[in-house]
Amino acid sequence: MGAHGKAPRKGEKRNICENRKARHDYDLSEFTETGLVLLGSEVKSLRAGEAHLNEAWVGFEGRKMFLFKAHIAPFPQANQFNHEPDRPRPLLLHEHEIEHFREIVREKGLTLVALRLYFDGAKVKLEMAVGRGKKQHDKRHTLRAQEDRKEIARALNRG
């Protein structure tokens, strides 16, 4: 349900959860949106905001891509029909897209990073990106640049 008890409209995006640490740990490129295969109890838990992507990653199993280690809490009212909280969830991509990402991951040091889950209308979508792991000095450089931007903004607001 959207604002004022109405169903969400097509194209209306509402965040469920985000992996903020990914932006700190990886240099991200080639952002992609994909659908997920979910059970009913998982969708109800997501509507309640009961999920996190802290340890989530995207990988391959056979000819398919999966979201691994994404935690979606069990839905209390589902009883015996509940889902496994950390089960691998298949991603909805075309074969040529899967092969494209498989070639990218074969390149040294690149991985597929799950960034956020969100509702696009009534559908649950995953935003993922190709990431290259940052070294410790790269992380420090990024933090220093952020602090510099904040300091400049403060100086402009004071002046």
State how far the Cα of 29 lies from the Cα of 69, in Å rounded to an integer: 22
Q: Which domains does the chain have, with CATH numbers?
A: 15-133 (2.40.280.10)
Other residues' Cβ atoms within 10 Å of the Cβ of residue 113: 24
User: Which of 10, 65, 11 minimizes the C-alpha distance to 37?
Assistant: 65
Q: What tens digit of pLDDT does each residue of 87-105 get?
A: 999 999 999 999 999 999 9
Q: What tens digit of pLDDT does each residue of 143-157 get?
A: 888 888 888 888 888
**How much is the pTM?**
0.77
Coil, helix or strand for 61? strand
Within the chain, strands assigned E span 13-18, 26-36, 51-52, 57-61, 64-68, 71-72, 89-92, 110-120, 123-133
